[in-house]
Amino acid sequence: MIKKRKLNRLFTLSIFSVSILSVANISGVIPGPVSVEKVIETLRDVGTSSYLNLSKQPFLVGELSSNSLFFARKHPDIFQDNQGVLEIKPGVHDIDFPINLDGSLLIQPGTTLNFSANSYLLVRGALTALGSSDAPVVLRGQKDQLWKGIYVHDAGNLSELDHVIISDTTAFEDGYLKLTGGVTFYKSALKITNSDFKNSVAEDGLNIINSEFSLAHTRFENMRSDALDSDFSQGSINNGVFHTIGGDAIDLSGTRSWIQSPQITSVHDKAISAGENSTVDVIGGSVRSVGVAAASKDGSLVKISETRIDDVTLFGLMTYIKKSSYSFPTLEAHNLFWGEGSAGPAANNWIRQAGTVLTVDGHNVVEETVDVKALYKGAVMSK
């Protein structure tokens, strides 16, 4: 999730333009009659895009970017140049400096990189790390200390990670560039298989922004806050494992996603959270020991079926409006299996805020008055 406070100043300045934009119809940006809510939503999207475009500029990062030849010549024991692609040689390497690369990066199987506290990996190109079960690629902090993580943007080509273990990340930060993800992909298509994200204290363990993605057989474990956060993206999550998550396991904003056979356990907040006009299909899998199993909010559509739900602290299913500029959300549930702690049509299985849509096996759930602000101040959903 993009840090909202980064947009506060931009949003504050923009809000004074609401009346002018309404009269001018934003010069055709918003066709037809314009409501204040629609203008605010457009300004939010413009602000988000502007921030992301600014955040990728080199002058905002403390360490200037360099090409593959620079790293190959300066650290020949670690790097080599292969026709403009930087390759990291197999072996165990201590990284005590930021890698700010203008180009693509290939990490060979059987490579372990131990990063110091102030080091990171920033790639303006595709990141490829294809390990194996016998020779994984390991990216971790030195002596289990935290490091600043990975930022891949505007790759141009598909980034692929297979049998990769990434651990000990904090949020990527250098100079004026401050992201919320321990690992962030922006405008960069990615495919991740058989990989692990562990022990992150970042707001988002993996943050995917404006990108197409495919995740399969990938595990998220011991995350201080959200595990996987997708903003304005599209992709699939197959056979993902989420365990011991301090925030949401899967947090989707403006995203189209297909989630198949997830295994989600020990999540403080929501197992699956869809907001800001997301469309999500969840099929199969199990959700156990969570605050909320699935929530649809702010214009989103969630369809969940054939999923087992056990031991829910707050509610199994939720529909509500958090941001008034969005329309009502919808959640459709079919053939769910309710286990221990949430058996049958118990009172804590679901809640539908008035004006939203929540159906279970084709039947409408009774509407209720929901104090959303109170929910976000409560023990489960507070940040």
Q: What is the pLDDT of residues 48-72, one digit of tens each?
A: 554 444 443 444 566 778 999 999 9
Q: Is residue 60 part of a domain?
A: no
Average pLDDT over residues 92-100: 96
pLDDT at site 5: 41
Residue 61: inside a domain, yes or no? no
Provide the pLDDT confidence category of residue 45 given band limits of 50, 70 and 90.
Answer: low
Which residues, listed in sequence order, are joined to residue 231 by a DSSP beta bridge? 209, 253
Regarding whether 118 and 24 lie in a shared domain, the answer is no
One domain, residues 92 and 179: yes
Q: Which two tokens stand for residue 65?
A: 């970017």
d(CA 376, CA 170): 24
As beta bridge partners, residue 166 has 139, 197
Looking at the fold, whether 135 and 276 belong to one and the same domain comes out as yes
What is the mean pLDDT of the segment spanning 119-125?
Answer: 96
- Looking at residue 342, its pLDDT comes to 53
Q: Does one domain contain both 276 and 206? A: yes
Range with lowest mean pLDDT among 29-33, 165-169, 285-289, 334-338: 29-33
Q: Given this model, what pLDDT does residue 3 score?
A: 45
Pair of tokens at residue 58: 């080199």
Residue 173: count of CB within 10 angstroms of its CB: 18
What does the block give as tokens for 350?
A: 């679901």
- Check whether 10 has a pLDDT greater than 80: no
Write the CA distances from 236 to 51, 67, 191, 306, 357, integer angstroms. 26, 33, 10, 17, 25
Contact 185, 159 (CB under 8 A): yes
In three-state secondary structure terms, 55 is: helix
pLDDT at 47 over 90: no
One domain, residues 77 and 11: no
Calpha distance 118→312 (Å, rounded)? 39
Beta-bridge mates of residue 332:
303, 359
Average pLDDT over residues 252-274: 98
**Residue 339 confidence class, pLDDT cut points 50, 70, 90:** confident
Mean pLDDT of the 327-335 span: 96
Compute the Cα dihedral for 371, 372, 374, 380 and give only its sign.
positive
Over the stretch 163-216, which tens digit does the pLDDT of each residue have?
Answer: 999 999 999 988 888 999 999 999 999 999 999 999 999 999 999 999 999 999
Range of the domain at 271: 69-375
Element (H, E) at 309: strand 308-320
Q: Say yes or no: 50 and 97 in one domain.
A: no
pLDDT value at 256 more than 50:
yes
What is Dmax (Cα atoms) for the chain? 67
Tell me which of 32, 55, 78 is where a domain ends: 55
- Cα separation, 383 vs 378, in Å, equals 9
Say what the pLDDT of residue 31 is.
47
Half-sphere CA count of 96, side-chain side, radius 13 A: 3
- Tell me if 383 is assigned to some domain: no
Asked if the structure places residue 381 within a domain, the reply is no
Q: What is the rounded CA–CA span in Å between residue 212 and residue 191?
A: 9
In the prediction, which pLDDT does 11 show?
A: 37
What is the average per-residue pLDDT within 21-40? Answer: 47
- Residue 382 in any domain: the answer is no
CA distance 52 to 279: 23
**Residue at 129 is within a domain:** yes
Q: Are residues 269 and 209 in the same domain?
A: yes
Indicate if 19 and 151 belong to the same structural domain.
Answer: no
The verdict on 194 and 140 lying in the same domain is yes
| Rg, C-alpha atoms of the chain | 22
Whether 329 and 371 map to the same domain: the answer is yes
**pLDDT-based confidence at residue 132 (cuts at 50, 70, 90):** very high
Do 27 and 97 sit in the same domain of this protein? no
Is position 279 within any domain? yes
- The letter for the amino acid at 157 is N
Whether 208 is covered by a domain: the verdict is yes
Name the DSSP class of 102: S
- Based on the fold, state whether residues 297 and 369 are members of the same structural domain: yes
In the numeric block, the tokens 């008055």 are attached to: 369
Q: Tell me what the pLDDT averaged over the chain comes to.
A: 86
DSSP 325-340: TS---EEEEES-EE-T
Helix (H, G, I), strand (E, B) or coil at 356: coil
Q: pLDDT tier at 33 (50, 70, 90 boundaries)?
A: low
User: In the chain, how many domains are there?
Assistant: 2
Say if residue 279's pLDDT is above 50: yes
